[in-house]
Structure 1
Amino acid sequence: MKAVEVTGEIDAQGNLTLDQQIPDITNQRVRVIILASETENDFDPDDPPVDAIKANLQKALHQVRTGQTLPLSQMWEGIE
């Protein structure tokens, strides 16, 4: 099973409209899980996309594995 995250809206008739197309998934039944905000603060369209977060985590893991790190004491230098 493949998982894809997209955003969308549910109209007054209960129809779901996605904000973007889902590539490589056509002509098949799918399962849908709806995460609806209970307050306006739950959803922030300015949050970074999941793909960007994954890329940053992969980069950070690579840096750790290859020794590209700073001692914690150096990270705080110059911060008051």
Structure 2
Amino acid sequence: MKAVKVMAMINDQGQLTLDHPLITDKNSRVEVIVLIPEQTDLNDKYQAEVLADFRQAWQEAMTGQTIPVAQLWEGIEDV
């Protein structure tokens, strides 16, 4: 048996919709194992990422590794 890892969404009817089609033999049966992350796992991961980004930004600000806001807008056309 071959394992293929793909991401999917569960719709309101509880059906899976894969992000990308599987490249394999068509019309074959498969075994599906669904791993649903705990809500706290997502929150903890998100908080850790935000904290890491903040620490990096703070370090850059404290060491003068910044650019003027006006420079951020250079080259961006009005939408």
TM-score by length of 2: 0.48
Which of 1 and 2 has greater Rg? 2
Q: TM-score, normalised by structure 1?
A: 0.48
